[in-house]
Chains A and B, each alone.
Chain A
């Protein structure tokens, strides 16, 4: 049952695929944005998992500690989270602007409107 020990990697893949599915299959732009958020978060989970050291404690200097987890991936992910938040902000701003211009956030209805007026 060794593969169960890597359960957080399985969760990362599952989460990523759920997000990916939402991005592809959902016509609603807000749902697409949520899917994209899940997709990115899955990658964060990967990074957090690779920083894990068995038996290690939080990387804060402590007299009883003998082993620390690797803090570098965690720090990297702080940066990536900032990136993800910025992406979310830009995406939502675009959705608002799309809603103003088209009166809907359903991609099929937007595409239907896009075809009618002369290109």
Chain B
């Protein structure tokens, strides 16, 4: 019974929990319900990953309406992997959130926070699992609306401005997606992704489909924060509560990348996306500029959250770079980096959350000398930073390795050079933090600062250890990413 309905339970459980939480009105109970829901979803995602690995794609007809008429939930290699990332990160961040939220959110609003938090996760999981284009739009808006409220709960009034900006840009992006989906419906008469995949090839010359493609790619890129559509991201990440930043950085942009992958490869097919319309050139250019400018701007930031936000833009560039290379190795690298970046940015933002919990401000100057006061926290930050740079034995190395491999496969050595330059720039901005934390004298206010509480260190270190584990044992990640890439690129040659 549970096994058969697993695909829908993954969305329904957090949704129902989100609706129950405002009724309980107690911060701790709300946290407990959130945690339970997240663990349940994670267990479901692991079960789905195993099931899909053994039996192939699962199709679930929502409300027992058969797919072309009803909404279909479809789980295959790619989205079972993304589900695992989103649900896994949400468990870890929720574990972290309890103390962090208690200091950053007024006590009478904590239950609303968790309600919006779960709603955001619901939307992200739903986008990932759905096989219906319009359903994707609705769930995108659910997660986005929840995200706007979460960002607005930041401690400073800047958060409101950041949230409003995000709302305007996010809504424009989502409406673009809506228009694009409308164009596809106009041309094909279906909203089911598999039906679209079958009917679109004969309509390649249609201007309706082509403009729909443009609308969808721009809309998805806005959600992904691909350069130059990233303007909402830095402020939103900087001013959101610590746990929200970690959740968004590790999951929301990843789901954006998933939308892009789904539309580019599964729905439109590589021949149309990259052959006829040559979207790969646009992607590569945007990605290259994102890697360089994101990293360079990150170096100049004093606020560490903002620095990591700009670094995220650069890292999203790597994901797009992998997709734009349009080979099996390239897409593998993109999907791998999707997973690995979730781990490393999750770890980094959680470590910064620990600092914010004790020190309040997280500027380069305000953390001076804190490396000695908070050894575990800064060790975690350093380990996450090494992963970000791409040192061997960390996940960052694995995805960059495949990226460079894919570049050489095509003989595009400038791309490989770009990846290396990006790594060097990452070294500079991570070093600025490490230098300040370990080699500068402790400020007067810093003397009273203690190590972050155990409950916050544990989730941070879970992600750090995951960074190291998946940097050494790549069986699961490379396997899943590679199979997904083969599936995505194989679908167009006619042998799925």
Contact = CB atoms under 8 A, between A and B. Distances in A.
A90 B145 contact: yes
Contacts of A110: 161
Nearest to B180: A43
Interface in A16-75: 20, 23, 29, 32, 36, 39-40, 43, 46-47, 50, 73
B126 to A, nearest CB: 14
Contact of A43 (B141, B161, B163, B182): B182
A94 B179 contact: no
B160 A46 contact: no
A94 B145 contact: no
Interface string B167-186: 11001100100110010011
Nearest to A39: B175
Contacts of B303: 119
A91 to B, nearest CB: 6
A23 B138 CA distance: 22
A39 B163 CA distance: 19
Contacts, number: 70
Nearest to B190: A72
B275 interface: no
A36 B141 contact: no
Residue among A23, A79, A119 with most chain B CB within 10 A: A119
B134 interface: yes
Interface residues on B, range: 20 to 34
A76 to B, nearest CB: 6
Interface of A: 20, 23, 29, 32, 36, 39-40, 43, 46-47, 50, 73, 76, 79-80, 83, 86-87, 90-91, 94-95, 97-98, 101-102, 110-111, 114, 119
12 contacts: A29-B164, A43-B178, A47-B182, A79-B138, A80-B138, A80-B178, A83-B138, A94-B148, A94-B160, A94-B164, A97-B160, A98-B164
B294 to A, nearest CB: 20
Contacts of B158: 114, 119
B168 A32 contact: yes
Given A43-B178, A43-B179, A50-B185, A87 B160 contact: no
Given A29-B164, A43-B178, A94-B164, A76 B134 contact: yes
B404 interface: no
Contact of B157 (A36, A46, A101, A119): A101
Nearest to B146: A90
Contacts of A114: 158, 161
Contacts of B160: 94, 97-98, 101
Contacts of B182: 43, 46-47, 50, 73
A90 B134 CA distance: 22
Contacts of A87: 141, 145, 167, 171
Contacts of A47: 182
